[in-house]
Amino acid sequence: MKVWLGSAVVALLACAVPVFGSDESPSLSREPEVTPKVEEAVKRACDWLAKNQDKEGGLKSSYSVAATGLAGLAWLATGSTPHEGPYAENIRRAINFLLKCQAKNGYISENGGYGPSSMYGHGYSTQFLTQAYGMVRDQELGTKLHDAVQRAVNLIEGTQNQFGGWNGSPNGALTDDGSGAVAIMQITALRAAQSCGVSTKEKVIDKSKKYLIEMTNEQGWYAYNWNSRGYGNSAATTGAGMYMIGALNLQEHPKYAKGIKNLMGSCPFLKGGGQQGQWGAAGGWGWYYYTCFYASLAIFQHGGDEWSRWYPAMSTELIKQQRKEGNWDDPYGGVFTSLAVLSLQLPYRYLPMFLEGGAGREGK
């Protein structure tokens, strides 16, 4: 049975999340999709991520900021919070690590802002800190998190480029907008911050809406960057793009339905779909676990028959690929494992940031 956290902080922020007693395991949603095999795979993965956390609180990865932000989201998605649950200590240590990695200007990256995680890591870390902020009951920690999230949000807003997207580095003046996927991390972070009462600028979101539509061609494929608009057919970018187009309530645009159809048609674990890593085919699934997560998130949000077909096939395939230690093929020290387990955790519905806006069907 779910118990809803009712602290003053969470009530104020309207970010209530299910929690449980300190000696209990999370009570899962028990949606039809969440089979015992899924639960076992999720636990093994989250345990592996916990073992891969170092004494400083970061994951043992050359991309420690990105990996830690994603692992933190995976631990929160089990139902644990910074105070309760089997991963509470891991969550608190991850928070402390990322707070130490934040520069004065708000940028979260390794080595005082010069690390390899770039704006990808900043976006994931901001998402994690924002979701954790909505769950804290400790006033001192809550104040620290609010300040950190606000500065991280200010950094995002101040680095939006002329197109409406973001660059790989925190510099909006660059002429190349980097990857269109970078924008998805930043917009998701802004939406999460909005939902938890952190100040954001609506004009930044409005500009990003136009960017998302313009980045999607008439066939429903979301581009890698601004200069490649109209070309390419990658599910890796299209999953992220369709997720955010839906999340920002733009799902009535005809490009959205085409994008969802493209994801269903190119999916390697559905009959008639493509192949893992098949770059040459329409919707090639290179960067498999990244693609799987964002495509799954887009289909989850879309809901309906598409999700009913998608999740059983996706979860079966991911569980088959999971290693006995609990991780997946992961040269990035937790990045791919976190994306894979987050894909499995979508029907748990414990992360508010994945349950707002969009088609409003969230797997139903």
Buried/exposed 341-350: b ≥16 CB within 10 Å, e otherwise:
bbbbbbbbbb
CA distance 347 to 45: 16
Query: The tokens of 252 are what?
Result: 């009535």
CA distance 102 to 117: 12
For the ranges 50-64, 140-154, 170-184, 276-290, the lowest mean pLDDT is seen at: 276-290
CA 364 to each of CA 33, 91, 250: distance values in angstroms, whole numbers, following the listed order: 11, 30, 19
Asked whether residue 360 is domain-assigned, the answer is no
Amino acid 294: pLDDT = 97
CA distance 180 to 241: 8
Higher pLDDT, 124 or 363: 124
Asked whether residue 143 is domain-assigned, the answer is yes
Residue 103 Rama label (left phi>0; alpha psi -120 to 50; beta): beta
pLDDT range class, residue 273, cuts 50, 70, 90: low
Amino acid 361: pLDDT = 78
Amino acid 157: pLDDT = 98
Asked whether residue 361 is domain-assigned, the answer is no
The pLDDT mean for the chain works out to 88
Q: DSSP H helical segments within the chain, as ranges?
A: 8-13, 36-51, 64-76, 88-101, 118-133, 139-158, 180-195, 202-215, 235-247, 254-266, 288-302, 304-321, 335-345
Asked whether residue 227 is domain-assigned, the answer is yes
Amino acid 63: pLDDT = 97
148 in Cβ contact with 97 (< 8 Å): no
pLDDT range class, residue 23, cuts 50, 70, 90: very low
Asked whether residue 29 is domain-assigned, the answer is yes
Nearby residues of 208 by Cβ (< 8 Å), 6 or more positions away: 160, 164, 165, 183, 186, 187, 248
pTM: predicted TM-score of the whole model, two decimal places: 0.91
Nearest to 208 by CA among 221, 193, 220, 226: 226
Q: Helix, strand or coil for residue 37?
A: helix
pLDDT range class, residue 179, cuts 50, 70, 90: confident
Q: Any idea what the CATH number is for the domain that residue 258 is in? A: 1.50.10.20
CA distance 151 to 170: 13
CA distance 84 to 278: 42
Amino acid 25: pLDDT = 46
Nearest to 256 by CA among 266, 247, 269, 265: 247
Is pLDDT above 50 for 3?
Answer: no
Residue-wise pLDDT tens digits, 136-162: 999 999 999 999 999 999 999 999 999
Amino acid 31: pLDDT = 73
Amino acid 286: pLDDT = 79
Residue-wise pLDDT tens digits, 199-230: 999 999 999 999 999 999 999 999 999 988 98
Higher pLDDT, 359 or 55: 55
CA-angle at 67, arms to 61 and 73, nearest 5°: 150
Is pLDDT above 50 for 13?
Answer: no
Structural domain boundaries enclosing 289: 3-354
Amino acid 9: pLDDT = 34
Residue-wise pLDDT tens digits, 81-137: 999 999 999 999 999 999 999 999 999 999 877 899 999 999 999 999 999 999 999
Nearby residues of 169 by Cβ (< 8 Å), 6 or more positions away: 118, 119, 178
Q: Which of 2-6, 227-231, 257-261, 355-359 has the highest average model confidence (pLDDT)?
A: 257-261
For the chain, how many structural domains are there in total? 1
Query: The tokens of 292 are what?
Result: 């799987």
Is pLDDT above 60 for 281?
Answer: no
Q: N- to C-terminal Cα distance for the chain?
A: 21
Query: The tokens of 302 are what?
Result: 């879309």
pLDDT range class, residue 7, cuts 50, 70, 90: very low
Is pLDDT above 80 for 279?
Answer: no
pLDDT range class, residue 280, cuts 50, 70, 90: very low
Please report how the helices 118-133 and 64-76 are oriented relative to each other, as an axis angle in degrees rounded to 10.
Answer: 30
CA 72 to each of CA 21, 29, 57, 344: distance values in angstroms, whole numbers, following the listed order: 20, 20, 10, 15
Higher pLDDT, 165 or 112: 165
Q: Strands 3-4 and 18-19: what pairing? A: antiparallel
What would the mean pLDDT of 193-204 be, rounded to a whole number? 94
pLDDT range class, residue 363, cuts 50, 70, 90: confident
CA 315 distance to own-chain centroid: 17
Nearest to 26 by CA among 93, 90, 84: 84
Asked whether residue 362 is domain-assigned, the answer is no
Asked whether residue 363 is domain-assigned, the answer is no
Nearest to 121 by CA among 160, 82, 170: 170
Higher pLDDT, 356 or 351: 351
